[in-house]
Every structure is written in structure tokens, then in C-alpha cells.
């Protein structure tokens, strides 16, 4: 069955530190997508990235970078030089398969960045 | 870009009353709508999936008579919490998918925080 594990429940860092959020997944599919979302205190989900399993290149977007390791079923997210505005809950997600491709979310990692 | 408008953003209702939450896709046709529920400091749990014009498919353990989902058009889906009780207090969020945006194009509403008193 499809499953997403985010083992880090909460992470606390001081501004300007780098932080990596872990995501490990299980899937029975040979091709699949992986997602990261940010949920600030206001509650809305902010889309960060969608990665196709075909593409194992790491991706960088500003201070954000993602490391996709198919061999270890991991899709980790790194924030470089963290800022207070990065404080949020971050979710990793994977389509659950079936006809509707419902998204299955990990438990989330709550990141607190302190000044 | 694709936008899903979810209303209301916050609602407080009395125990025993019903509350309707709307999600509208503003610039695309939402062939599939997913409804999630999120308890404080918890993850998003899928409640049900609905396709336009069809009955919703509910996840195991979700009471379909309590959480009524209607997806009567390609731009509107509603979730009605019937006879609400304090334990129904939660954050509800919808996610729309359109067949012409690819199988993995999800757009989320901004969520509704329901408090039942």
C-alpha cells in the first residue's frame, strides 16, 4: 500500500541555520509522483514541488532544495539559511493509486524557526 | 493559475445544526474533488472523493450520512456536516483535480475551520 513517513514531528532551529526535513515513502507503483506542501498557521496548503519518479535529479528553487533518492525511497527537503517565515508544517505526499489518484499525506513536520 | 475558492473560512455553529462548506473551482472544471479533515497538529485525512454527477466514495470509517457530499456541477462541490457535534470541530479542506490538467494536478481550497459549540 502507499505510505508516507515523516519521522520528524517537530524541528526547532535558529534563523539562518540549514534544516532538512525527511520523507520516506512506500509505493507499489513503478512510476509515481511525490509532492511537498507547506501549511502556515493560517491553514492553507501551499504547493512547493511535484517530482516525477523518472527524474532523479535534485532540484533547487531559491533557498529550497530537494534530494530524491529512489534507491532508498526518500524525498528529503532542505531549507538553506532558514527564516522565521519558514515556520510552518511541511507535508510530503504521494498519490494513493486507484482511479482517482487521491493524495496520501505524511504526518507532517512542524518547523519552528526562531530569530 | 488554477484557483479553488472555499467558503466559509471559519464557522461556529450550535450542536445539532448543519453546516455547509462550498468549494468552487474558479478557472477550471473540477472533475474530481477530494475532501480532507485535519485535527489540530495532525495530518490531512481523506474523507471522501467525489466525481461530478456521481455519488461520493467515502473512506473507511467516515459516516456518509453525517458528511454529505454533493458534486452537482464541474465547478462546485459541497460538504454538509449534518447534526454537528463538538467532536466534528475540525479543519476541513477540499482539493480539486481536473482531467485536462493531468492526473496529478491538485488545487487546494484555503480550508474551513469548523467549531461546534
A61 bridge partner residues = A64
pLDDT at B101: 64
Query: Span A26-39, mean pLDDT?
Result: 93
Query: From chain A, which residues contact B within 8 Å (Cβ)?
Result: 33, 35, 37, 42-45, 47, 50, 91, 95-96, 100-108, 110
pLDDT at B2: 83
Summary mean pLDDT of chain B: 92
Q: Is B27 left (phi over 0), alpha (psi -120 to 50) or beta?
A: alpha
Please report the residues numbered 64 through 103 in chain B whose beta carbons come closer than 8 angstroms to any beta carbon of chain A: 91, 93, 95, 97, 103
Q: What is the per-residue pLDDT across B8-24, written as a single tens digit (0 to 9) for each? A: 999 999 999 999 999 99
Weakest-pLDDT range from A103-112, B48-57, B74-83: B48-57
Instruction: Give how far Cα A5 sits from Cα of A84, A93, A109, Å.
Output: 25, 9, 10
Of residues B2 and A108, the one with the higher pLDDT is A108
- Are residues A43 and B113, on separate chains, in Cβ contact within 8 Å? yes
**Which of A43, A96, A103 is closest, CB to CB, to B95?**
A103
Chain A contact present for B14, CB below 8 A: no
Instruction: Give how far Cα B75 sits from Cα of A10, B23, B28, B109, Å.
Output: 37, 8, 7, 13
Q: What is the per-residue pLDDT across B75-115, written as a single tens digit (0 to 9) for each? A: 999 999 999 999 999 999 999 988 766 667 889 999 999 99
Q: What is the per-residue pLDDT across A52-84, written as a single tens digit (0 to 9) for each? A: 998 888 889 999 999 999 999 999 999 999 999
Share of chain B above pLDDT 70, in %: 95
Weakest-pLDDT range from A37-41, A53-57, A80-84, B63-67: A53-57
pLDDT at B103: 60
**Does residue B94 contact residue B34 with C-beta atoms inside 8 Å?**
yes
**Which of A95, A104, A110 is closest, CB to CB, to B104?**
A95
Amino acid at each position: 500500500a502507499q505510505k508516507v513517513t515523516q519521522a520528524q514531528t517537530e524541528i526547532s532551529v535558529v534563523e539562518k541555520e540549514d534544516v532538512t526535513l525527511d520523507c520516506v515513502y512506500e509505493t507499489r507503483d513503478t512510476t509515481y509522483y511525490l509532492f511537498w506542501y507547506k501549511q502556515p498557521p493560517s491553514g492553507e496548503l501551499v504547493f512547493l514541488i511535484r517530482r516525477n519518479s523518472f527524474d532523479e535529479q535534485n532540484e533547487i528553487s531559491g533557498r529550497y532544495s530537494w534530494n530524491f533518492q529512489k534507491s532508498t525511497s526518500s524525498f528529503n527537503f532542505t531549507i538553506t539559511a532558514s527564516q522565521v517565515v519558514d515556520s510552518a508544517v511541511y507535508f510530503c505526499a504521494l498519490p494513493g493509486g486507484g482511479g482517482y489518484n487521491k493524495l496520501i499525506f505524511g504526518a507532517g513536520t512542524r518547523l519552528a524557526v526562531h530569530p | 493559475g488554477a484557483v479553488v475558492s472555499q467558503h466559509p473560512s471559519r464557522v461556529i455553529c450550535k450542536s445539532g445544526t448543519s453546516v455547509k462548506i462550498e468549494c468552487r473551482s474558479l478557472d477550471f472544471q473540477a472533475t474530481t474533488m477530494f475532501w480532507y479533515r485535519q485535527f489540530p497538529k495532525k495530518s490531512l485525512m481523506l474523507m471522501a472523493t467525489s466525481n461530478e454527477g456521481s455519488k461520493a466514495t467515502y473512506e473507511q470509517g467516515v459516516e456518509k450520512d453525517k458528511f454529505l457530499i454533493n458534486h452537482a456541477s464541474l465547478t462546485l462541490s459541497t460538504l454538509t456536516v449534518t447534526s454537528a457535534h463538538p467532536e466534528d470541530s475540525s479543519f476541513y479542506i477540499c482539493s480539486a483535480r481536473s482531467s485536462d490538467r493531468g492526473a496529478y494536478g491538485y488545487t487546494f481550497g484555503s480550508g474551513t475551520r469548523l467549531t461546534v459549540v
